[in-house]
Structures are given as structure tokens and as C-alpha cells.
Amino acid sequence: MRIDTTGLTDVLVLRPELFRDERGVFTRTFDAALFDLYLDETPGSPATRASDFLQDSQSRSHRGVIRGMHGRAGRGEAKLVRCARGAVHDVLVDIRKDSPTFGRKEAFLLDDEDFAHLFVPPGFLHGFQALTEAADVCYRIDRPHDPLEDLAVAYDDPDLDIEWPLPVAAISARDASAGTWQDLVARL
């Protein structure tokens, strides 16, 4: 597994090694020992350890569906995100007021071809749009979900100015009524 940094402070892309042959493909999607070794050897790296991940969740979305932009108040949550089936346009926004990349966004292609994961530290909004007829996104989260800590900003907020690659096919009522970036910044 190779670990790459991104344009957002503390966000990492984990790229597993793929073994392809006439049968298809095999990969180890996550290696806790390599993840922890990277954190141990990289000054200033996030404090999250592989053993901190407590919960796995999965969503299935249809082409054009947007889920997001979601975050957590309080301690936030760290997560590993990957697309196990299909492809998604995945977007992160840094909401850590003391971060050098506060307010910046970055988009990533996650798919079932290269099996890249995003390591998302606490303090980020996260959302994605399904690019394929079916897209399964897997989340490994470091603490149980508490709905009282949910944060959301509208996927089409003009201050975030996220460029979604497809027309929106569907969005939840909760996401459609999410607040603005300015509202969230005032709360932080």
C-alpha cells in the first residue's frame, strides 16, 4: 500500500497494490500495520491509529445521486472512504478553523479500478456523487454516529462552489435543506 498526501492538510490517499491476472484482480484494501507505520514515521501526521476505526458502513447510490456535504461537530470523526463498486466524485472541505487549508476543497475519483481510499481526519465536510449506474461507498469510522453532532452544508452552496460532474439525479430531503457555508462558519 502506498500512501500519498493531498492538497488538504492531513488528508491522505491510500493506494493498495493490485494483483491482476486472467481471473481478475486481488488487493488488500487496507493494512493496519502499514497505516500505523506511516503515521509513526511522518512528523505532524494525524493522531488517528488503525485500531481507532470502530464502525463500518456502506451506501449504494445510483448515477447522479449526491450524498453530502456532511460533517461532525465536537471531536469530529476520522474515516476511511473507498468505492467498492462503480465510481464516485468524492469531495472534501476543510472546516478546521486553525488549519492552513481551512475552507479549501478538493475532489477525488474513487473507483473499483484502483481501490484508492481517502483517509479523512476529523474536521472535514464530505460528500460524493455517483458516476456509475451503481456505486457502493464504504466508510470505516473511528466512533459511533451521534445524530446530535451532524453538520451539513448544501451541496450547491455558492460559497463552496463545488463542481459536480453530472446533473443531480436525486438528493435526500435532509441534504436539500442543509444550511449554508456562512452559517457553518459562524457556528465553528
Q: Which residues contact 22 (CB under 8 A, 6 or more apart)?
A: none
**Alpha carbon distance 88, 116 (integer Å):** 11
pLDDT of residue 47: 84
Geometric angle at alpha carbon 32, from 27 and 37, rounded to 5°: 115
Of 70, 117, 126, 145, the catalytic one is 70
pLDDT of residue 91: 98
pLDDT of residue 46: 82
Mean pLDDT by 10 residues, the chain (188 residues): 92 92 90 89 85 92 97 93 98 96 98 95 97 97 91 97 97 95 93
pLDDT of residue 28: 87
On the CB side of 84, CA atoms within 13 Å amount to: 16
Q: Are 79 and 141 in contact (CB under 8 A)?
A: yes
Q: Is 117 a catalytic residue?
A: no
pLDDT of residue 157: 97
Of 38, 139, 145, 155, the catalytic one is 139
The number of residues in the chain equals 188
Residue 151: how many CB atoms within 10 A of its CB?
19
Instruction: Identify residue 9 by its one-letter amino acid code.
Output: T
Q: Is 126 a catalytic residue?
A: no
Domains defined for the chain, CATH in brackets: 2-187 (2.60.120.10)
